[in-house]
């Protein structure tokens, strides 16, 4: 017994020794196959991974020249999860907010990564679907193709999500009636402005007077008194929300919205001195308080304004059916007043204006039959005040179109001008009077 150990013990050692040798051989062969062929540590250096791995150009060229490219079927494709986080964020940045929401349902890793604030730089509440939610397609409330009930659910759910992640927003758009008593969309807008980072906001399209999923006109069940009360209430809410908005969105360059012309709202608007593109739609039917002083304050305060689209409906009590205004701005290159009614340019001082859109829209139908010499000719107004003008209503002007006026320019003036000559020449034929 003392001469030696049991034979079973020697067999076990030999088996273990052989198995160890087999493991070493198999591991060595596995590494020798994988490293030269695929070189898993360096296979992505020919793409954007050089930036992520902090490799310089020489290192990348040396490594790519030493390692042959593997074109086998096993290394041609790779899972999305193997990408670095920066590459994933770059790919997700091309998706819309609805697509990002669908991607969040894929797995927990995607759900966590897509909650990065920089991915939600474009917030558009109106881009949410108006159709019924899948779990709510039953009952009398969900019979119409456009379901306001489900749209409201989406808006509030999206608002809660944004308040949780605190997005860094560059574009903001909504089309919501902030005065409706049951919708309470004003709380959604105010919560967004208090939780989101708006210092980088450059584009805003804020339609605060109507919701596309709900009829904005007066219904048969609503009395005129209730409708006017909601109309005035919406004005007061907009004044409060807009004053908060301009205090946080100080770098805004493009603004599109219906505008209520009041002294306080105009003061808030003029504080956005970096505005370059401005679209002011009408609110209500008449803009009684739009005066020449408002126009002067607007154009003189916004010194960087390049494009202006203005829509005002101005009631008139004189026999011309038009109120005269003048525009003075050294920065304007595009001016659109074609949607105005009762608005006429008597003088213009825009040395850099290139594009002009204008229309003749008086209030009275008998305007074309009146021969009032009070309004100046638009041809002389534009030739003196806009020397660089190139386009009128999309028609390109030749350099020598003004003196004397060409035939094309004369036909164009017959449509937009309200002077005595152009009304007499072509007004009756156009309006059938």
pTM for the whole structure: 0.73
Domain boundaries, the chain: 7-69
Q: What angle do CA 392, 394, 396 make, to 5 degrees?
A: 70
Indicate the pairing of strand 277-281 with strand 254-258: parallel
pLDDT of residue 143 exceeding 50, the answer is yes
pLDDT of residue 220 exceeding 50, the answer is yes
Instruction: Give the residue, 53 or 362, on which the prediction is more confident.
Output: 362
pLDDT of residue 180 exceeding 90, the answer is no
Give 275's contacts (C-beta < 8 A, 6+ positions apart): 252, 253, 254, 255, 302, 304, 305
Mean pLDDT of 172-187: 88
Give 163's contacts (C-beta < 8 A, 6+ positions apart): 191, 192, 195
Tens digits of per-residue pLDDT, 364-385? Answer: 554 444 445 577 888 888 888 9
| Cα→Cα distances 397→46, 93, 177, 337, 402, Å | 53, 42, 42, 19, 9
pLDDT of residue 203 exceeding 70, the answer is yes
pLDDT of residue 195 exceeding 80, the answer is yes
Number of Cα atoms under 13 Å in the Cβ half of residue 124: 14
Q: What does the mean pLDDT of the chain come to?
A: 76
Tens digits of per-residue pLDDT, 74-83? Answer: 445 667 778 8
- Judge whether 273 and 302 are in contact, CB under 8 Å: yes
């Amino acid at each position: 017994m003392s001469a030696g150990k049991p034979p079973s013990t020697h067999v076990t050692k030999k088996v273990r020794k052989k198995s160890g040798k087999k493991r070493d051989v198999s591991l060595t062969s596995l590494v020798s196959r994988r490293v030269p062929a695929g070189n898993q540590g360096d296979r992505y250096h020919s793409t954007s991974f050089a930036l992520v791995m902090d490799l310089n150009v020489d290192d990348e060229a040396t490594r790519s020249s030493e390692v042959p490219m593997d074109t086998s079927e096993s290394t041609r494709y790779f899972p999305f999860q193997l990408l670095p986080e920066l590459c994933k964020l770059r790919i997700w940045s091309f998706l819309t907010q609805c697509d990002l929401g669908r991607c969040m349902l894929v797995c927990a890793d995607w759900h966590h990564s897509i909650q990065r604030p920089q991915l939600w730089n474009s917030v558009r509440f109106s881009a949410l679907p108006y159709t019924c939610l899948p779990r709510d397609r039953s009952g009398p409330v969900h019979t119409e193709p456009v379901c306001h009930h489900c749209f409201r659910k989406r808006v509030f759910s999206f608002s809660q999500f944004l308040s949780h992640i605190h997005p860094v927003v560059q574009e903001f758009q909504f089309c919501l009636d902030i005065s409706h008593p049951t919708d309470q969309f004003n709380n959604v807008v105010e919560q967004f402005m208090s939780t989101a980072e708006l210092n980088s906001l450059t584009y805003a399209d804020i339609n605060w007077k109507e919701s596309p999923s709900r009829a904005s006109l007066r219904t048969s069940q609503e009395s005129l008194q209730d409708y006017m009360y909601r109309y005035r209430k919406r004005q007061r809410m907009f004044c409060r929300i807009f004053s908060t908005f301009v205090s946080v969105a100080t770098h805004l360059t493009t603004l599109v919205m219906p505008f209520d012309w009041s002294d306080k709202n105009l003061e808030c608007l003029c504080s956005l001195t970096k505005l370059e593109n401005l679209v002011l739609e009408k609110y209500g039917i008449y803009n009684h308080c739009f005066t020449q002083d408002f126009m002067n304050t607007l154009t003189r305060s916004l010194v960087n304004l390049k494009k202006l689209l203005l829509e005002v409906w101005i009631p008139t009590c004189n026999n011309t059916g038009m109120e005269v205004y003048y525009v003075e701005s050294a920065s304007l290159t595009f001016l659109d007043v074609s949607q105005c009614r009762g608005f006429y340019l008597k003088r213009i001082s825009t040395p850099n204006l290139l594009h002009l859109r204008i229309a003749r829209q008086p209030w009275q139908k008998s305007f074309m039959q009146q021969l009032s010499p009070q309004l100046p000719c638009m041809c002389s107004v534009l030739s003196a005040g806009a020397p660089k003008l190139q386009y009128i209503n999309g028609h390109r002007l030749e350099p020598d179109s003004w003196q004397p006026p060409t035939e094309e320019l004369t036909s164009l003036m017959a449509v937009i001008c309200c002077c005595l000559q152009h009304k007499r020449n072509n007004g009756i034929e156009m309006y059938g009077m």
